[in-house]
Amino acid sequence: MIEFELSDGLKNMQMLTHQAAENAMRPIAREYDEREHEKPWDFLNLMWQVSHSNPIGGLGDRKPKDGPSERNLGMCVSIEELSWGDAGLYLSIPNAGLGGAAVAAAGTPEQKARFLKRFTEGGKPKWAAMAITEPSCGSDSSAIQTTAVRDGEHWVLNGTKIFCTAGLMAAEKSEGFVVVWATLDRTAGRAGIKAFVVEAGTPGMYVTKVENKLGIRASDTAALVFEDCRIPLDNILGSPEVPKTSEGFKGVMATFDATRPIVAASAIGVGRAALDFVRETLVQHGVPIRYGLPSHKLTALERDFMDMEAQLQAARLLTWRAAWMMDNGMRNNLEASMAKAKAGLVVTQVTQKAVEMLGPLGYSRQLLLEKWMRDAKINDIFEGTQQINQMIVARRILGYSSKELS
C-alpha cells in the first residue's frame, strides 16, 4: 500500500516547484486575474523552457531505480504546489494537460508517441485540451450530440463544445491538439462514444467564444465549433468499432481516472494557500494556533482552523492514493472520484471559512484570499460535479449500475 512519505526525488521536485510558484506565480497572480484575456508570456515561456523536456505537466514517467512509476503521484504533488502559487496561472501553463492525459489513458502506444512527443521537443510553447461538455450535455457525458462519421480515410466531426479549458491555446495558438468526445452512432447510446484527436489549426475547428469567469481567470475557457472537420482515421483513441455493450465507453471514461486526481490536487493547493495565509496572519497578530491542547481549552477559531487542516489532509491522502494506484497499474475509478469529491468540497469550505476568519480584510481585494475563494469553486464543478462524483462513489460501493442508480 502507499507509504505516507514521498521519495527523495518527489521531495526535490516539490521543493523546486514550490519555489517557482512562490517567485514566478504569486507576484503576478492579481495582475492576470484582473487582465483575464491577456497572457503572461514571460511566465509562460519560462515554464515551457523548464517543463517541455517531459510530457504531461512536465513530469514525464518518473520511475525510481527500484519500484513502479511515480508519474501520476508526482504530477499531483507538482500541481498542488503550482496551484498554491495560482490556479489560473497553473492552468495556463503550456503542456499536454487534460488532452495529453486522455491520450495517455486511452491511446495506443503509437498514438502516445505521436501526440505526446511534441511536448518534449522544445520549440514554441504548446497546449492540449479536452472537449466534452456541450450546450445540451453537461454532467451526462453519454448524451453527447457531436458526431463523427467516417468518410474514406477520414473522420468528419460536426458539433459544438463549450467550457474547454485551454481550448483557445490548444485549438488556435500552438502546435497542440484537442481531444474531442463524439458519437459514432447516436442510437448506440454510451457504446457509440469515442474520443478523437483534432490537431491545432485543423480546418473546420473554430473557437467561437472565450468565457468571462468568476475564477481561474488567467486561463482561457473556450467554446469550439466543428463544421465538417476532417481528421485522419488513426486519430481515434482506441478501436473504431461500436460494441454491443457500453464497455467501449468505459474505456473513454477511464480518462477521468487520470484527470480527477489532478483536479483534486489543484483544489488542495488552493485550499493550502488560503490556510497558510490565515495561519501567518494570525501569528503576525499574536494569535498562534495552539496544538496539543484538549478541545475545551481551544478557542472556536483554533478548533475551526484545525478542522480545516484535517479535512485538507484527508483530501490529500485520498488524492495521493488514487494517483499511486494508477502508477501501480491498479483500477482507481472509485478512488479517483472519492478524491475529486472530497477535495472539491473541502476547498470551497476552507477558502470560504478563511475569508470569514479575516473578516472585512479577507473579503477585500487588498488580499489574494477572496481570489482563492473564487478560484476554489471550479474544482467542485469540472471533471464531474460534486453530485456526479458522489453518485459514482455510491455506485461502486453498493455495486449498482448507472441504470440502477442515476
Q: Which residues contact 193 (CB under 8 A, 6 or more apart)?
A: 141, 142, 144, 181, 182, 183, 184, 248, 249, 252
Angle at 402 between CA 400 and CA 403, to 5 degrees: 95
Residue 234 CA to residue 187 CA, distance in Å, equals 23
Is 383 a residue of the active site?
yes
Q: What is the largest CA-CA distance in the chain?
A: 75
| Distances in whole angstroms, Cα of residue 297 to Cα of each of 280, 294, 300 | 22, 6, 10
Are 151 and 201 contacting, i.e. CB atoms less than 8 angstroms apart?
Answer: no
* DSSP tag of 137: B
Half-sphere exposure of 354 (CA within 13 A, CB side): 30
Residue 24 CA to residue 19 CA, distance in Å, equals 8
Are 344 and 296 contacting, i.e. CB atoms less than 8 angstroms apart?
Answer: no
DSSP string, 213-256: -SS-TTS-EEEEEEEEEEEEGGGEES-----SSTHHHHHHHHHH
* DSSP tag of 108: -
Residue 223 CA to residue 217 CA, distance in Å, equals 15
DSSP lists the bridge partners of residue 182 as 194
199: cell is: 490537431
Among 70, 81, 370, 383, the active-site one is: 383
* CA terminus-to-terminus distance, the chain: 32
Question: Residue 111's closest CA among 183, 199, 219?
Answer: 199
Are 347 and 379 contacting, i.e. CB atoms less than 8 angstroms apart?
Answer: yes
Are 212 and 189 contacting, i.e. CB atoms less than 8 angstroms apart?
Answer: no
Question: Residue 157's closest CA among 172, 167, 146?
Answer: 146
- The string over 120-150, giving b where at least 16 C-beta atoms fall within 10 Å of a residue's C-beta and e elsewhere, is eeeeebbbbbbbbbbeebeeebeebebbbee
**Residue positions annotated with a catalytic role:** 383
